[in-house]
Structure 1
C-alpha cells in the first residue's frame, strides 16, 4: 500500500514533490531528481496537489527515456533538446541548428527536427504512457497490442518518409496506412481490433486537448475479396468433433511430449472437456478452489466468469491425485513457470504446449492456408456446451438453458432482455442440482480404434 507521503518531502516548513530520476537518464535531464514546492504544510492538501505535478515530472522522464532509446541520431538529438526547449537561449540555438541541418540535409529534415525539438510537433508515442495509465483496465496482452500497432504505424511513417508525429497523421495518411499496412497479412477481425486501438488513442488525445480531431473516425477496412469458387469452406472457430475429442484426451501425450507438458496436458484436457472452463481459469485453480465437490472460479474473462462448477465424477480421482500432500494454496495444475512481467496469464506455456501436441496428433483445420487453426484449446469449451445442448434437446435432463450459461460463465445474451427479472433477478442463479445434472450429462467419448491416433507418421515427436 502506498505511503501517504509518497513523492513528498518536508522542506522549508512546507511539503514539496520529489521524483527521483533513473541514473541512466540523469545526464539527459541535467539533474538527479525533480523538485517542486507545493506551498502547503497540510499533508492532506499536499496529497491532493501532488498528482498533476508527479504526472508532469514522469512525463519528462518518459520523454528522456525515449530520447535515450532512439536509434535515429537526429531524432534522439531533437528529443534531447525538447526537454530543454524552455531554457533561456535554447530557441536561438535551435534556429541556428536547424539552418545548419537545412544546408546539409534539406528543408524537410530541418523542419522536422525543429518541430520536434521546439515542441511544435509531438512524437507519435509521446502520450502513450499517459494513455495506458488512463486505460488501467487493459490487460498486459491488450497493452502489448496497443503498443504494437503504434510501433507499426511509426515504422510505416518512417518508410514513407513522413514525420513520425501526431501532427503527421492526417486523414489521408491514416487511410493509406490502413490499406498498405494494417490489413496486409492479418485477418479482418485482428485488423479491426488494431484499428480500434488507434481510434481509442486519438479519442483520448482529443479529450485531453493534444489533437484537434481524430483521423481514424469513420475509417473502414477495405471490403473483403469475394471467395474463389474453388476455395475451401471456412466456418471459423468450432467445437471438436467427438472423434477429435477422443483422439486428443486419449492420445499418447507421454510419447509425444517432454516434461513438464507431458505431466499436465492430459489432466488439462480432461478438466476442460468435463467442465467447460477456459484454459486460464483451469490454470488459476488452487486446491482450496476444488473443495466440497466444486470448482470455484474467482475471476476470469468477464464478470459472469465468477462461478461454481460441480466437479464431474470422472474428475474426482484426478483432483484427489493432484491434491495429495499439497497445501491448499498450491495450484491444481503445477509444472507451469512463474508469470514473468511481460504477461499476466499463467496459461500461456500450456496453450503453446497444447498446440504442439494437437498438431502432432493431427487435429487441425486451416482452410485455404489460414494462419490460425479453426480448432484450439477453446474448442473443448465449445464441445462441452454442444454436448450439454444435445442433452437438453434429448428431453428432461434436469437443467435449463440458463443453467448452461451459469456453468460456463456466459452472459444470458438475448434472454436477459426478455425474462431477466423472472428468470434471473428473482430466483438467482441455477441451483446445485441443476448444475450437477448438466455436468454429469456430458460424457467423454471412448478411445477410438488403435490407429495410433494420428493421420500421418510422427517424426522426432518429443520436440
Structure 2
C-alpha cells in the first residue's frame, strides 16, 4: 500500500507499506488484506493527526491482529493449518522485544475478559458434569477478581497471576487451592494451544505458582475428616420414617441408591449413571469413572436382587438404571442435594467449626463399605479392586505389577462379607 506523503517521515521515508498475508491461497488472502488495509489506513490517520506512535510497536500490533485472524480462520480447519498458524504467531512473538512484544501479545489475545473462551475450553476437555461445573465456578471467580482489578485477558502476566495466588488462592483450604490452580493452569494451557494468547507451554503464567503447604502446629480437631456412617446413623437412614416436607418422588431413589452404595462401595456417580446393559450376569459392569481403576466389574450383592430386578424391568439396554435422573443436567449434584436434605431432616449430620461440609455425606456409604470389608477380614488388595482404588505399583511391585487383580470369587466373597445392620 502506498504511504501518504505526509506520513513518510514516520516510516523513515519509505513510500510503500509491505506486509505478508502469510498464505498462498488467494481466497484466504483477500479477507486478510481487506482487514489489514482498514487498520493501516487508521494508522495513517493517526499519524497525520500528530499522534505520537512508536512505529515498531504499532506494526507489531498490526501483525498481532493479522496473526489472530489467521488463527481464527484455521480453527475451523484444525490439524496442520491450526498448528502452522499458532507456530507462526509464536515465532513472531519470539522475534519481538519489550513493548513491541507486549503490543503483539495483546493483539493476539484480543481485548476480551478473562473468561471469553471458557465455554469453548470446557467443551473441549470433556470432563464429568460435576467437574466441569466446578471448573466453571473457579474460573468465574478469577474473572470477577479481574473485573475488580480492571484486567482483561492480555493483562494476565506472571506478575498478575502471582498477585491472584497471593491474595486469593493462598488463604484457601489446601484442597480447594489445589483445584483452583489446576483449573487456571488447564485453561491457560488451552488458550496457548489454540493461539488465543501468545507464547509456548512454558509461558503459562500459572506454572510454578505453587501454593505453600502452610504447615503449622496441629491443634485439637485439626485431623477431623469426612468419615463413614456409624451403625446408628446408617440405621436411621435405612429404617427411619420418611421425613415430612420431602417429595415422595425422591423416597425410592434415595433408598435404592444408598443400599447399592453400601453393599458395593460404588461412588455416587457410578451408581446413578449405570445403563441397564451394564447390569448383567450378576455384576455391575462399570465402564468409566474417576480414575483408570474405576472401570471394573463389581459383584452384585445378594441383598440387592429385589432392587435390581425392579429397576431393570421393562427397560432398554441404553436406559438408565436410575431412569428418574436421566434428564437432569447434573444427576450427581441434583441427587446429592436431595440426599443431604434427607439425612439432615433425619438428624444425621456432623458439622464442625471451621469445616464447610458435614463430615458425613453420601460418600460415607462407600467409606462404610470399605470399613466393613476390612473388619470382615478381606485383604486390602481385594477391597481396592472392588471399589476401584489405584494400587501404588511403585511401592508394591509384587501385587502392583505381577498380578492381574482379585479373582471373581475373591471379589464376590468381599462383597458378600458386608451386611447392612438390622432394624433392631
Tell whether the structures are fold-level matches, with TM greater than 0.5.
Answer: yes
1:170 aligns with 2:160: no
- Higher-helix-fraction structure: 2
Give the conservation status (yes or no) of the 8 Å contact 1:290–1:296: yes
Work out the CA distance in 2 between the residues paired with 1:318 and 1:292: 15
Tell me if the contact between 1:253 and 1:265 (Cα under 8 Å) persists in the aligned partners.
no
Indicate conservation of the 8 Å contact 2:228/2:368, yes or no: yes
In the superposition, relative to structure 1, how do residues 390 and 158 fare at CA in structure 2: closer, same or farther (>3 Å)? same
| 1:390 pairs with one of 375, 378, 385 | 375
1:112-131 map, 5 Å:
119=107, 122=110, 123=112, 124-125=114-115, 128=118
Query: Per the alignment, do residues 417 and 137 of structure 1 end up closer, same or farther by CA in structure 2, a change over 3 Å counting?
Result: farther
Counterpart of 1:148 in 2: which secondary structure?
Answer: helix
Work out whether 1:349 is the aligned partner of 2:334.
Answer: yes
Q: 2:261 touches 2:365 (CA, 8 Å); kept in 1?
A: yes
Mapping 1:255-294, distance limit 5 Å: 255=244, 257-294=246-283
Supply the distance in 2 between the matched residues of 1:141 and 1:246 (Cα, whole angstroms).
Answer: 29
Deviation string, structure 1 residues 36-85 (Cα, Å, up to 9, x no partner): 99689xxxxxxxxxxxx8xxx9xx9xxxxxxxxxxxxxxxxxxxxxx956
Q: Which residue of 2 aligns with 1:433?
A: 409
Aligned partners of 1:136, 1:116: CA distance in 2, in Å? 28
Q: Distance in 2 between matches of 1:352 and 1:188?
A: 24
| 1:220 is the counterpart of 2:210 | yes
Other structure's SS at 1:191 match: helix
User: Could you tell me whether the CA contact under 8 Å between 2:242 and 2:251 is conserved in 1?
Assistant: yes
Cα distance in 1 for residues equivalent to 2:120 and 2:38 = 25
Change (3 A) 1:325 1:354: same
Which whole-Å deviations, capped at 9, do the CAs of 1:11-49 have from their partners, x for residues lacking one?
Answer: xxxxxxxxxxxxxxxxxxxxxxxxx99689xxxxxxxxx
- Matched with 1:179 is 166
Rounded to whole Å, the distance in 2 between the matches of 1:257 and 1:374 is 23
* Structure 1 unaligned blocks of 5 or more: 1-35, 41-52, 61-82, 100-110, 393-398, 449-463
1:367 aligns with 2:357: no
Could you tell me which of 387, 392, 395 is aligned with 1:413?
392
**Distance in 2 between residues matched to 1:351 and 1:361, nearest whole Å:** 15
SS in 2 for 1:384: helix
Aligned residue in 2 for 1:447: 423
- Aligned in 2, Cα 1:171/1:292: closer, same or farther, shift over 3 Å? closer
Under a length normalisation based on structure 2, what TM-score does the superposition of the two structures give? Answer: 0.68
**1:357 alignment partner, SS class:** helix
What corresponds to 1:87 in structure 2? 38
- Number of residue equivalences: 343
How far 1:129 moved relative to its partner? 6.2
- Whole-angstrom distance in 1 between the partners of 2:153 and 2:307: 56
Question: Which residue in the other structure is 1:76 paired with?
Answer: none
Kindly report which structure 2 residues correspond to 1:49-198, keeping only aligned pairs within 5 A, or say none. Answer: 87-88=38-39, 89-92=41-44, 119=107, 122=110, 123=112, 124-125=114-115, 128=118, 136-160=125-149, 162-166=150-154, 168-183=155-170, 186-198=172-184
How big is the shift at 1:408?
A: 1.0
* Matched residue SS, 1:347: helix
Shift of 1:258: 0.8
* SS at structure 2 position matched to 1:173: helix
Tell me what 2:83 maps to. none
Post-superposition offset of 1:131: 5.1
Q: Distance in 1 between matches of 2:205 and 2:341?
A: 42
Q: Are 2:199 and 1:199 equivalent residues in the alignment?
A: no
Report how far residue 304 of structure 1 moved: 1.8
1:402 to 374, 381, 395: 381
Q: Distance in 1 between matches of 2:148 and 2:241?
A: 49
